[in-house]
Amino acid sequence: MILLGEHAVVYGRPAVAVPLSGLRATATLTPHPGPFRIQAPAVGIDAPLSELPPDHPLARIVVLTVEHLRRPPPDALLRIESAIPVASGLGSGAAVSTAIVRALAAWHSIPLEPPTVSALVYEVERIYHGTPSGIDNTVIAYERPVYFVRGQPPEPLPVGAPLHLLVADSGIPSQTREVVGDVRRRWEAEPARYEALFDRVAEAVEAARGAIARGDARALGEQMNANHELLREMGVSAPVLDRLVEAARRAGARGAKLSGAGRGGNIVALVEPSSTEEVAEALREAGAACVWRTEIATGVAET
């Protein structure tokens, strides 16, 4: 999940992303006679690999992975299950693709490092998003908070104090590819205005990066609030998202903002442990379809 830096990250500015504990996708391979078969009940798929279009994301990640492993698709059944809502800005597509890559690598007992997993998943992200930033595949493949600049190796992000987050689903799908394309068209029409907005997002990200390292929740919340206002100026928020953000702040959240492409999907709120339930209830009363809790632990991940 992107904590700060949406959209601007596509244009070379930094972003901060964190993994979501408790919301995972799983891919399970079991021996199965006949050709390789894919089952994904959540999206109504139960078919041999050969019957799926070559550009279908599930088929594409399987083919990319077995080509990289230099192995044919095994005689197996691939079953995919995910607790992550689709089209919600939480990286569901990248999480599913990552799970598939790891399942196939484990089947063949060939270990893959996070940069390799991330690169394979990125190719499928292009199907979902058109011009993806690369941040979803990065944070999911590495499974750690990262500071990310497109085209550069991700940096593990030190966390000075635990971050307590609430993620609230608006119940409205976010069409990432469409929203990203709309921002690009606006940037092309008003490059100076949008470059200035992206620069201000970068400033918020850099300030938030320092706040996270220091364990300064107050400063981090301020930057989250500032980032949301910049996303509103870009035209990617929506009344439902603004309503949830405002409800979280009124109930005591340190900061709150939309997360992901926008115009639907989710908001994320930074809370204190003592106010978690109060903020969660306020979000539900404001219309959130679902609210998840997650915590980002302290420490520095090793590179």
Q: Pick the closest to residue 264 from 297, 237, 289, 284 (CA basis).
A: 237
Main-chain phi, psi angles of 76, to 5 degrees: -155, 160
Catalytic-role residue among 46, 136, 169, 199: 136
Q: What is the signed CA dihedral for 46, 123, 107, 74, rounded to 10 degrees?
A: 50
Two tokens, residue 20: 């979501």
Residues, the chain, total? Answer: 303
User: Residue by residue, what is the 3-state secondary structure of the chain?
Assistant: CEEECCCHHHHCCCEEECCCCCCCEEEEEEECCCCCEEEEHHHCEEEEHHHCCCCCHHHHHHHHHHHHHCCCCCCEEEEEEECCCCCCCCCHHHHHHHHHHHHHHHHCCCCCCHHHHHHHHHHHHHHHHCCCCCHHHHHHHHCCCEEECCCCCCEECCECCCEEEEEEECCCCCCHHHHHHHHHHHHHHCHHHHHHHHHHHHHHHHHHHHHHHHCCHHHHHHHHHHHHHHHHHHCCCCHHHHHHHHHHHHCCCCEEEEECCCCCCEEEEEECHHHHHHHHHHHHHCCCCEEEEEEECCECCCC
| Catalytic site includes residue 136 | yes
* Catalytic residue IDs: 136
